[in-house]
Amino acid sequence: MLNRCSLKTESFVLALNDVSAELHTLAVRASQQASHRANQRHLRAFEAAHPDVAKSLRSLVEETVAECETLEQQVQDVRARVCAKQRAADKELVKKHSKSSSSSPKPSLSRKASSSARRKAKVVTQ
């Protein structure tokens, strides 16, 4: 009976914690929305009081955004070129490795067998 009460209490506390977390999230969201609305009011008041400055600022922001987009595209292009060069270098390295490993003489089967026998003999004598 006591165990059942303890489990019910524990599940109630967990549910209460979930509700508390959700309330906190909603409160933060409401605060952010209120702040956004206040910022919008201030912006409209500024635009009404200083239309020429507001227009210049908007133009400046639009130019800055366009420049940022151009720079982002350039960064993506450079990344693509770097990746292509890296892939080419990797392919070249694989080619060199495969050429060097195929041109080196491979030990004969009897040499492999004798080295294996020597290793086994060492293990037995130790």
Contact 54, 46 (CB under 8 A): yes
Q: H or E element: which one contains 15?
A: helix 2-49
Residues in contact with 46: Cβ distance below 8 Å, sequence separation at least 6, in sequence order: 53, 54
For 35-81, what is each residue's pLDDT tens digit?
A: 999 999 999 999 999 999 999 999 999 999 999 999 999 999 999 99
Q: How far apart are CA 82 and CA 115, in angstroms?
A: 46
The reported pLDDT for the residue numbered 121 is: 58
pLDDT digits (tens, 9 = 90+) for 96-117: 888 877 655 555 545 555 666 6
The pTM for the full model equals: 0.43
pLDDT at 111 (0 to 100): 55
Is residue 83 classed exposed, middle or buried when 0-12, 13-18 and 19+ CB atoms within 10 A define those classes? exposed
